[in-house]
Amino acid sequence: MKNYVVKLKPVPEPRKDCSLIPVALTDETLEERRQKILFRMRAEGLERLVVYSDVEHGGNFEYLVGYYTRFEEGLLVIQADGTMSLVLGNENLNKAGKARVQAAAVHVPVFSLPNQPCETPKTLREQLAAAGLEAGRRTGVAGWKLFTSPYEDVGQMYDLPAFIMDALRDVVGAEYLIPAGGLFIGENGARVTNNANEIAHYEFAAALASDCILDAMDALDEGVPEMVLGDKLNRYGQHNSVVTIAASGPRFLKGNMYPTDNVVKVGDPISLTVGYRGGLSSRAGFAVHNASEMPDGQQDYLERVAAPYFNAYARWLEQLHVGMEGGALYELVEQVLPREKYGWGLCPGHLTAEEEWLCSPVRKDSKELLQSGMMLQIDIIPSVPGYGGTSAESTVALADAALREELHSQYPAMWERMQERRAYLKDVLGIEILEDVLPMCSTVAYLRPYLLDHSGALTWEPTEAGSPPEYRD
Q: How far is CA 439 from the centre of its chain?
A: 14
- The region that residue 175 occupies, defined by phi over 0 for left and psi between -120 and 50 for alpha, beta otherwise, is alpha
Alpha-carbon distance of 190 to 41, in angstroms, equals 11
Residue 186 lies in a domain: no
- 312 is a domain residue: yes
Bridge partners (DSSP) listed for residue 273: 245, 282
Q: What distance in Å separates the CA atoms of residue 289 and residue 453, rounded to the nearest whole number?
A: 5
Shared domain for 203 and 175, answered yes or no, is: no
Range of the domain at 243: 4-23+192-472
In this structure, are 317 and 409 located in the same domain? yes
What are 266-315's pLDDT values in tens digits?
999 999 999 999 999 999 999 999 999 999 999 999 999 999 999 999 99
State the pLDDT confidence band at 119, using cuts at 50, 70 and 90.
confident
The identity of residue 458, as a single letter, is: L
H or E element that contains 41? helix 27-43
Whether 259 and 124 share a structural domain: no
Domain membership of residue 187 (yes or no) is no
Residues 157 and 251 in one domain: no
29 in a structural domain: no
Q: How confident is the model at residue 471 (pLDDT cuts 50, 70, 90)?
A: low
Q: Are residues 432 and 321 in the same domain?
A: yes
> For the chain, what's the residue count?
473
pLDDT per residue as tens digits for the range 333-355: 999 999 999 999 899 999 999 99
Are 197 and 51 in a shared domain? Answer: no
Confidence at 463, pLDDT banded by 50, 70, 90? confident
Q: Which one of 136, 155, 179 terminates a domain?
A: 179
- Are residue 90 and residue 137 in the same domain, yes or no? yes
Query: Does some domain include residue 102?
Result: yes
Name residue 43's beta-bridge partners: none
Same structural domain for residues 144 and 171? yes
Q: CA dist 156 to 164, 176, 178, 184, Å?
A: 15, 11, 8, 18
Residues 83 and 152 in one domain: yes
CA distances from 214 to 23, 277, 379, 388, 392 (A): 22, 18, 18, 20, 11
Q: How far is Cα 276 from Cα 244, in angstroms, rounded to an integer?
A: 10
Helix (H) or strand (E) holding 307, with range, is: helix 307-319
Q: Are 269 and 364 found together in one domain?
A: yes
- pLDDT averaged over every residue in the chain: 95
- The CATH number of residue 139's host domain is 3.40.350.10
d(CA 322, CA 374): 9
Phi, psi of 165, rounded to the nearest 5 degrees: -60, -40
| Number of domains making up the chain | 2
pLDDT tens for 187-196 read 999 999 999 9
| Dihedrals phi, psi of 250, to nearest 5 degrees | -60, 140
Closest of 86, 100, 90 to residue 53, by C-alpha: 86
CA distance 290 to 83: 63
Cα–Cα distance, 354 to 189 (Å, whole number): 15
Across the range 378-392, mean pLDDT stands at 96
Examine residue 112 and state whether it is found in any structural domain, yes or no. Answer: yes
The residue among 469 and 329 whose pLDDT is bigger is: 329
pLDDT digits (tens, 9 = 90+) for 231-249: 999 999 999 999 999 999 9
Q: For residue 391, what is the domain's CATH number?
A: 3.90.230.10
Looking at residue 195, what DSSP letter applies?
-
The last residue of one of the domains, among 129, 147, 179, is: 179
Contact call for residues 134 and 115 (beta carbons, < 8 A): no
| Same domain assignment for residues 129 and 223 | no
Q: Where are the beta strands (DSSP E) in 289-374?
A: 350-351
Is the residue at 32 inside a domain?
no
Residue 120: the pLDDT is 86
Q: Are residues 109 and 244 in the same domain?
A: no
Q: What is the mean pLDDT of residues 217-226?
A: 98
DSSP annotation of 306 reads I
Torsion of CA 389, 385, 222, 425, to 10 degrees: -30
Domain's final residue, options 152, 179, 206: 179
